[in-house]
Structure 1
């Protein structure tokens, strides 16, 4: 008794509204099909009725009315899917009443009618809350007993037939209680499955966001080399940007990128799971790594990892610069102490009375001391470099402001030509360091030939739609031997140069996913910065 009370007092887990609606539609369709089947069965066996033989007219009228009500109920569910509990209760009450009339017209309980009652009771347990389902079962039990009692009186039949009806009615109560236990367990399983499905969907969404954010290209292929997963990095590295990722899903890789498909197939066949590839239409080499997700099955899925060699070189360059910075910083500190003593001694000597020869030697010492101090300062600046912090820089406005703030004395020599709406991603402080160094070098070398040099700053898109910035001077240019060692540390063509300006500028460019190049010219020199990071024009 306690378990039964606990069964109906427990909070019942509701169905998902969509699931409940589909179940009600299925049951409503069953009722409609059943009504027309029973009418057809009665008409076919009219001369020797299988059911309803005791009162054929009542049986046929009950079936006709039941068919009409079930049809109206189905239309109502289709066009007004609200207050489902009330609609379900109404349908079940109509079912019990119709079956009771048919049971009376049949002359008492039969196996066929009993099975139809069982369906109604179980449907109530599945579709309704526990209390309403039990009420439907009690209503069915009462109507069965009452119709049998009324039939015995009206037809002067043996009243002992009520015992069979009572046994059928008691089975309704038992089925209702047992059905509630099963239904509660099913609803609990459904709720747990729904929660797990929601958690899995959330994890999939999180994983998808993580995959989309990483810079390494990821591609998952099935056994037929159809694309199951691809992130934006893989699309940018190896595929056409004009084809949306959604259109690539479940498509053969060979149809979208035949070159990559052939290389992957060849690598799998030869068990060569890492190789280099330069995709057609791209200006960068890729390092491709293949991983079978199931090593025991040759037809398993394949994970393809793509990495840009330029990106790898950039990371190596950053690590190299960090190590070099730590080493040179320690050396520079050791050199600066005796250098400070030499500089101080030279200043004290300058206060003494020296002949012309000694004054000239002292001036040489002071010049070289300042040069060494400048070299050490550049080295320490390199070692103290902060991590790269790229920002979106509108080139036209930013270059004009940078020149006004940092090298206003060079402004009369500089001509700026920047296409409208050009923007790049770069660390502003590092780009400022690069341009100041290039502009100072350009003016210095151009003044060797012209009193009023002309320095041109040109920014535009190249053939690969990357932004390029050229710094062009009107100086004597560089020799072929100088070009070969131009970006090496401590290389300089000037007696007072440090040889670190271009080396640091190139390192800053590579740390920002850009290139610093020397472009040969017929007259003068041209240094070009190629910004490879994604850019957007307004």
Structure 2
């Protein structure tokens, strides 16, 4: 328990200063009433005695001035609040004791004023020093009555009245102390709950801001009330004031209206025009108010990418195991064929042996492709400069195939970049070039590589175009299926692996155009690899 003025100052909050001001205003009102009565109605002044009106007026004036000073000090919100309260109580005890004495003793009824003062002081001071105030009031009353007895004004009932008032002083003080303790406990509990609530609010706000999903609070009229950074990024919200959802995603706004009116689907798929993102939106009414609706936004591209990564990891382990199991007996067959080749047993024998070795090499290519496919989950995306990377890569490929350098023509813009894993990009480009050269006329400019900006901001397109016969309509829907090929020596895995590697890197590989020649378009991000 705090008992000193210095320690008491630490707990004297703004609310307690306000209580002290009210307490001093009450004292000022009492002083003003006493002063007015002494000044205007001296004949009915409750302590009026013969030839004492001037003394009463002087005492009331001093008391009024003292309470006025106390009010001013309390409103200045300075220090030493406990000292101010103690001085005020002791002044009231002194003034009321003098008034009791000159008014004829406790029978005048002025002693009850001390009860109110003690009760107020106990509540304002939070129970501190209230027993001291009660003791001072008791000593003052007993001293006043003893002084009266020594002045030959013996009154046996006066001691009884003094004892009753003294007991009342301590009863009021103890009651105020107990009540103040309860108030302090309730204040501490409320303060702690406020701190806990504030901490919980801060934590919840931090969690919402760090969420990978967007969270939007919508009013029933379609206005965005609140949103987290991810939601502003997905929808392109400016974050300033309450804006209409329809201005950023008309489809989502229509689905929201349908959900509000008809209780439509809780989850819908929408596309944001500005970014081209495909989002999954879930609606949920808030429990506290039916006027606001929570909307959770998920990027379907990110979800599909996560699912793709999981699928790639599982499929990669499976294909790697199968490929290893195939490669071991395949190596034995190939080695046995090489040994048989050394024997000369006629043309028919040589033809059969050549068929066996050719198909062995084809199986070896399939196994190698499958093993590469199993490693596509090992991704390190980086920003690839197309104009700096493609020329040496194509030159190396053409030299390996024994083709002239002018077969492939590059039309690349300066500064064109693609976010891709470099080893994956080399493999994808090798598969696309091999496919284009296989079906082209193999003359100057038969294969063209060109880039252009994507339809959506932040994307780039890389086209690989050949001058061959193109892909027939009956084959277009199967062109990316595994083991589908139109060439008698193809494995049917080149385009499939190229598309899978593009998917693993967050890109798309599509067959475009319907005229002569084939146009394979790689669509990926031009920035933002991390």
Q: How does the TM-score come out when normalised to structure 1?
A: 0.74
Q: In terms of Rg, which structure is larger?
A: 2
- Return closer, same or farther for 1:90/1:71 CA change in 2, 3 Å cut-off: same
Q: Secondary structure of the residue that 1:368 maps to in structure 2?
A: helix
* Count of residue pairs the alignment pairs up: 500
Map Cα deviations across residues 337-372 of structure 1 (whole Å, 9 max, x no partner).
443332122111122125455445433432321221
Q: Note the C-alpha offset of 1:168.
A: 3.4
Q: Distance in 2 between matches of 1:177 and 1:447?
A: 108
Q: Which runs of 5+ in 2 are unaligned?
A: 50-55, 399-404
Q: Secondary structure of the residue that 1:125 maps to in structure 2?
A: coil
Q: 1:486 aligns with which of 473, 479, 482?
A: 479
1:242 aligns with: 238
Q: Which runs of 5+ in 1 are unaligned?
A: 1-7
Q: Distance in 1 between matches of 2:156 and 2:418?
A: 97
Q: Distance in 1 between matches of 2:521 and 2:9?
A: 67
1:64 aligns with: 65
- Return closer, same or farther for 1:175/1:439 CA change in 2, 3 Å cut-off: farther
Map Cα deviations across residues 158-187 of structure 1 (whole Å, 9 max, x no partner).
586465455434444444444444444443
2:396 aligns with: 409
2:523 aligns with: 529
Is 2:90 the partner of 1:96? Answer: yes
The answer to whether the 8 Å contact 2:507/2:522 transfers is no
2:334 aligns with: 343
Q: Secondary structure of the residue that 2:481 maps to in structure 1?
A: coil
Q: Distance in 2 between matches of 1:300 and 1:485?
A: 51
Q: Note the C-alpha offset of 1:379.
A: 1.7
The answer to whether the 8 Å contact 1:138/1:173 transfers is yes
2:123 aligns with: 122
Q: 2:363 aligns with which of 365, 372, 388?
A: 372
Within-5 A mapping of 1:70-81: 70-75=71-76, 77=77, 80=78
Q: Secondary structure of the residue that 1:419 maps to in structure 2?
A: coil
2:295 aligns with: 304
Q: Distance in 2 between matches of 1:429 and 1:162?
A: 107
Within-5 A mapping of 1:376-415: 376-386=367-377, 393-396=382-385, 400=388, 409=396
Map Cα deviations across residues 513-535 of structure 1 (whole Å, 9 max, x no partner).
43233443987735222339967
Is 2:202 the partner of 1:205? Answer: yes
- Return closer, same or farther for 1:30/1:216 CA change in 2, 3 Å cut-off: same
Within-5 A mapping of 1:176-195: 176-195=173-192
Q: Note the C-alpha offset of 1:483.
A: 4.3
Q: Note the C-alpha offset of 1:47.
A: 0.9
Q: Note the C-alpha offset of 1:228.
A: 6.5
The answer to whether the 8 Å contact 2:85/2:125 transfers is no
The answer to whether the 8 Å contact 2:89/2:117 transfers is no
- Return closer, same or farther for 1:225/1:439 CA change in 2, 3 Å cut-off: same
The answer to whether the 8 Å contact 1:223/1:300 transfers is yes
Q: How does the TM-score come out when normalised to structure 2?
A: 0.75
Q: 2:444 aligns with which of 447, 450, 456?
A: 450
* RMSD, aligned α-carbons: 4.6
Q: Note the C-alpha offset of 1:468.
A: 1.4
